[in-house]
Amino acid sequence: MVIRKPLNLAKFKVPKGRVIVLAERCKECGLCIEYCPKQILEYSEDYNEKGFHYPVVKAGMENECIFCLFCQEICPDFAIFSEKEE
C-alpha cells in the first residue's frame, strides 16, 4: 500500500511531449495503446475513413505524455508521433 508520495516531486522535471495522431492512417492495431507506458491512449469513439477506431489521448491526460516515442516507434503505419514541448 502506497501511503505517501515524495515530498520533493516538484523538483523533478520530465520531458513533455504532445501526441499527434494521423487518424486516417490508423488501422486499429492497438499497439500504441498497448505500449504507451503512461497508459494515456484509448480508442476513439469515432471511426476514421477506413472504419477503424484510432487512438486518442484520454481526457485530462493531455499533459501526461513523456515524449518516450514508444507509440511513434511501434506504429506500423506511421500514424502517430509525439512532438517535444519545451
Partner 1 sequence: MRIGVFICHCGKNIAGVVDVKELVERASKLKDVVYATDYVYLCSEPGQKEIQEKIEELELTHVVIAACSPKMHATTFARAVKGVGLNPYLLEIANIREHCSWVHHDKPEIATEKAFRLIKAAVAKVRLAEPLEPIKVPLTRKVLVIGGGIAGIRTALDIANGGFEVYLVERTPSLGGHMAQLSETFPTLDCSACILTPLMVEAAHHKNIHVITYAEVKNIKGIIGNFKVTIEKKPRYVIPEKCTGCGDCMDVCPVIVPNEFDQGLGARKAIYVPFPQAVPLVYTLDLENCLNTQKLVVCEQCYKACGPRAINYLMEPQEIEIEVGAVVIATGFDLLPIENLKEYGGGKYPDVVTGLEFERLLSASGPTGGVVRRPSDGKIPKRVVFIQCAGSRDPEHGCPYCSKICCMYTAKQALLYKHVVPDGEAYVFFIDVRAAGKRYEEFVQRVMGEERIVYLRGKVSKVFQREDKLVVWGADTISGMAVEIEADMVVLAPAVVPSKGTADLAKLLKVSVDEFGFLSEVHPKLRPVESVSPGVYLAGAAQAPKDISETAAQASAAASKVLSLLSQKEATLEPIVAHVDKELCIGCGLCWKACPFKAITMVREEKREGKKRRRYAKVEEAVCQGCGVCMAICEKKAINVAGFTYDQLSAQVKALLEDE
Closest of 45, 69, 79, 75 to residue 59, by C-alpha: 45
* Least separation in angstroms between CB 76 and partner 1: 11
| Minimum CB distance to partner 1, residue 24 (Å) | 23
Residue number, 56 or 68, with CB nearest to partner 1: 68
% helix / strand / coil in the chain, to the nearest 5? 20, 20, 60
Binding site for partner 1 (CB under 8 A): 1, 3-9, 11-15, 35, 37, 66-70, 73-74
Residue 56 beta carbon to partner 1: minimum distance, rounded to whole angstroms? 20
Q: Which is nearer to partner 1, 35 or 43 (CB)?
A: 35
- Strands, E assignment, 4-75: 16-21, 41-43, 55-57
